[in-house]
Each structure stands twice: as structure tokens, then as C-alpha cells.
Chains A and B, each alone.
Chain A
Amino acid sequence: MRSSARLGYALISPAVLLLTAVALIPIAAALYLSFQKRLPIFQIVRFVGLENYRFLAIDPRFWNSLGNTLYFTLLAVTLELALGLGVALLLDRAFPGRGWIRAIVLLPWAIPTVVSSRIWEWLYNVEFGLFNSLLTEGGVTHGPINWLGDPFWAMHAAILIDVWKSAPFVTILLTAALQTIPRELYLAARVDGAGRWGIFYHIVLPALRPVILVVLLFRTLDAFRVFDAIYVLTGGGPGNTTETLSIYTYKVLFQTLQFGYGATLAVAMFFCVVAISLIYFGLLGRERRGA
């Protein structure tokens, strides 16, 4: 068995090497950079201890972007779960053309986010966009709405793109989970006099719960690092109202070239992600013990 172990370590070594060199060491390096004042253009590299963190604590733009990110994540993930579950239930019964509908639902998930954002940007266009013409012609609004220039609408425009792209992911995973529910259970419940909602609450929802938690974990962490859609749509504007943590960190790093403070923001973000994961793992652990 010792040769088996040696072979095992040999086979995993490329993967371990890559994950260590390209993911783990950079995280450690980011932590190290976060204690520095580092401005490459001025050739400044200086150890400043906790100064960056002290600045972070009173940096209104950091708190603003954290708030934006949390709002984005909370609303997007909630809507994705609701819509994704709804579509999964819709597709759970057999009907002609189900394969086509499933392919259509899968498509937004597969399209690169940058491309989706361009597609939606055109729909949101103030003068020539489809949304404004439909709304104006239909008499719903009197003038065009500045979807991407208005603080309220811009954030929700970005959220809608995320929902469009990621509700399909929820649907796929929940569809698979729905198929594991034995059909006899539905029949038995109906015989016992349960209505649609009764079946949903007492049979479907409990069966889906563990998968829903996993889906929520993936979606929350993914939404929390949102970058692509906002970069394309608004770049964080108007007036930083859609600036998320990823966008702010990226700007600090590559527009103002403050590598030290940028790393501090990155580390802060990393710890947020750790915190979110711990909460979900706690919930998942409780779910498993309860089962």
C-alpha cells in the first residue's frame, strides 16, 4: 500500500502545486502587501503596519461599497432562488417541447457575463432601448427612464442581469433535486387530502432544503464578488451608487495604483467571504445532523 500512497501523492502534486502557487501564495502575499504603502509609479514600498486597516475603518467609500455589495447580494440571491425554484417547478412536469425550454433557460447561464451585460445595456438604453419605447408607447411612463444613470434604477438594472444569468443555475440544481422525490409521495399526499400548497410545504420544500442551502452558498459567494456586469454597465456609477467591493478594490489597485491599500480591501473582502461561508457551513452542518 505504500507504493499506492506514493503514486497518489505524485498524481495530485500538479494540482497541489498550481493551487498553492496561483491561489494560496497570492492570498498570503495580499495579506503581506496590505501592511505596506506601495505605489509602484513612485517607487514607494514602505511597511506601515496597520495604517491601511485604520484607514479602511474610516473610509466611507469602503463602507458604501460594502453596503452596495450586501444589498446586491441579498436582493439578487433572493430573487434568483424564487425565480429559479418557480421555473424548476414549472419544468418538473412532462410536456411537449420541455427540452427546448430547458435549453432556453440554460442559455443565459452559459453566455459570458460581459456579453449579457452588453445585451441588457442595449435594452436599458435611454433613447433607443426597447424598455423605454415599450413603456412610453404603452403609456406607462411619460418620459424615458434613465435606467443606468439613475442611482435607484442602476443598482436594480445590474441585479436584474444577475438574476437573468443565475436563476438558471438554481433551476438546474433544483430540477435535479425535484426528480429525486418519489412520485408516490405526491399521490399519497393527495389521497390524504393535501392541496397544492400543502404538498409544496410538507413534501417538496423539506426534500429540497439541503440542496437549497448548497445553492444559496454558491450563489451568495458568487454574487458577493460581482464585477463583470457592473464594470460594463456603470463602472460603479452614478456617483459610486453601484460601486461594489470588487469594483472599488479594482479601481484602487489599477486606476489609482495603490497596491498596499488595494490589498487591504482585498483582505477585508476575503474575510467577508470566510464569514459568509462559516455561516452557511454551520447551517449545513445543522441540517445534516437534523436529517
Chain B
Amino acid sequence: MTTGRLLRQIGFSLLLLATALFFFGPVLWEGITSITPDAEMVAVRLFPRNPTLEHYQSIFVGQPFFRIILNSLVVASMTTLFSLAIGGLAAFALARLHFKGKRILLGGALAVSMFPPVAIISPLYLIVRALGLRDTGWALIVTHTTFSLPLSLWILTRFFEEIPVELYWAAQIDGCTPLQAFTRIILPLAAPGLAAVAILVFLFSWGEFLFALTFTTTEASRTIPVGIALFPGLHEIPYGDIAAASIVVTLPVILLVLLFQRRIIAGLTAGAVKG
């Protein structure tokens, strides 16, 4: 190996290290903070002398944190289910059936995905209040489903189109109705696409803040982002507890990313590159 090549190799490795440090460092530091006892937080040390789980204990004991996680799980799962069902049916129609107005729907969905949620929050708030839906999961499930629909519509249409149309025709010649051909032939083949959309929608709902903040008033109905943003601190900000809470809600995200990295990337790419 020549010196030039060696230097380039070292430079490349350093760049990789810097990249990893920038993107993972903050999370790692939060993890270290979460096991640092309050007394040791005054002096910054790379690792605490007496690591402790007291912060993890304190967020679950005497605080509705468990309830908040459950709320988020329910809202995000239901949103994912509805978004896949409603988006999937529409995407099948867009990909395989013949009717007018497809471009209007796709264009309209794209427009909805682009406008700022704060622009419609006031009428939605008035509607939610009038219907008595404040503090219920439904207010969030309905809004999250709506605002994840553009994503499911675009990506699923794209994935359904990629499944050879001959398979769809063959199923119909064998006596399937269009819907049967959809559920028996297209859906199973599009499973990877469905998984990709499910993860993206779940992550969107899991992290959505503005609607969740506006439509909830009591602590017990909050979702994770609201719970973390309005973390109760009586006298001083409980950094250790916040760190522990952040880590608890980040762990499932890390797991999803590690398990479904390829799906997430495929979904994002299919959604955006089409243009």
C-alpha cells in the first residue's frame, strides 16, 4: 500500500468515525445521563462512578408514564391499521382500475402532505371540541390517519404498479373479481411495500406533536411527545428523569431501525423519487 493510499484510508475512517459520532453521540450521551445519579451531574464525566437506575424507577413510579406509552401505542397502531386499509384500497384503485380523476386525488393528497398542520389546527380544534372528542384517542387517530394518507397512497400505488399486471389479469381469467384478485394476488406480493408503509406511518404517528398537544388536556390522555415536552418538574428540571424517559421511548425506535432498515429506506425512496 502506498503512503497516499494509506493516508486516504485513514482519512476515510476518520470521516466515518465523525459521522457516527455526530449522529449517535447525542443519543449515547442521553443514555449515559439516564444512568447518572443526580449528585454526579454537576461535574461532567464520560461515565458515572455509581451508575444507577433510579431515574428509570422514578418515571414509572408515581407518574402516568406507562399510561402515556400505552396511549401512543394505541394511537400509532390504530393509525397504521386505518392508514394501510384506507390507503391500500385507494392505491389499488389508482394502480389497477380505470376511472377519471386519479390525478386529482394524487395531486390533492400531495398538496395535503405539504401544507403546514398549524394552518388548519384552529378549525380542527373547534370541530374536535364541538364533537366532544378532546382527550380521546379518536381525535388523534383520525387526524394522524388523514395526514399519513398521502404517504400510504403514493407509496402503495407505486408498489402495486410494480406488480406485473399480467398476474392481475390471470387471476381474473381464473374467475376472481377485481377485489379478490387484489386480496389474493396483489396484497401478498406487495407485503414488503405494506411493511415499509406501516413502519413509516407508525413512526409518523409515534412522533407527531402538534395535534397531540392541541387535542389533549389531561396528563392521562397525553402521547409520548406531549409527555416528554411537558415533562413535569416541580422545582428544577429533572434532567436525569427526562433522559431516562427519552431513552425508554427511543429504544423501540432503535429496534425498528435495526430490524427494518431496508424497508424504511425502500419506502422513503419510493415515496419521494417518483416526484
Contacts and interface: CB of A to CB of B under 8 A. Distances in A.
Interface of A: 1, 4-5, 7-9, 11-12, 14-16, 18-19, 22-27, 29-30, 33, 87, 90, 95, 99, 101-108, 110-120, 122-123, 125, 127-130, 133-134, 164, 168-169, 172-173, 175-177, 210-211, 214-215, 218, 221, 224-225, 227-228, 231-232, 245-246, 249-250, 253-254, 259, 262-263, 266-267, 269-270, 273, 277, 284
B264 interface: yes
B41 to A, nearest CB: 5
B24 A225 contact: no
Contacts of A175: 265
Contacts of A103: 257-258, 261
B112 A112 contact: no
B250 A263 contact: no
Cβ-closest 7 pairs across A and B: A112-B207, A29-B123, A225-B116, A8-B97, A26-B120, A8-B99, A133-B44
Given A5-B98, A103-B258, A114-B229, A11 B90 contact: yes
B124 interface: yes
Contact of A128 (B23, B41, B98): B41
Interface stretch (B50-58, B63-71, B138-146): B138-146
A218 B151 CA distance: 12
A102 B261 contact: yes
A112 B247 CA distance: 12
A114 B146 contact: no
Contacts, number: 264
Nearest to B256: A110
Contacts of A111: 27, 207, 250, 253
A12 B118 contact: no
Contacts of B225: 112-115, 228
Where chain B touches its partner, the secondary structure class is: helix
Contacts of A176: 265, 269, 273
Contacts of A270: 115-116, 119
Contacts of A5: 97-100
B209 A114 contact: yes
A9 B258 CA distance: 39
Nearest to A34: B122
B195 to A, nearest CB: 15
Contacts of A250: 118, 121, 210
A26 B123 contact: yes
B97 A11 contact: yes
A123 B42 contact: no
B105 to A, nearest CB: 6
Contacts of A106: 257, 261, 264-265
A29 B87 CA distance: 25
A229 B93 CA distance: 38
A87 B23 CA distance: 11
A268 B176 CA distance: 51
Contacts of A19: 108-109, 112, 146, 149
A111 B255 CA distance: 11
Interface string B72-92: 000000000000001101101
B273 A11 contact: no
Contacts of A269: 116, 118-119
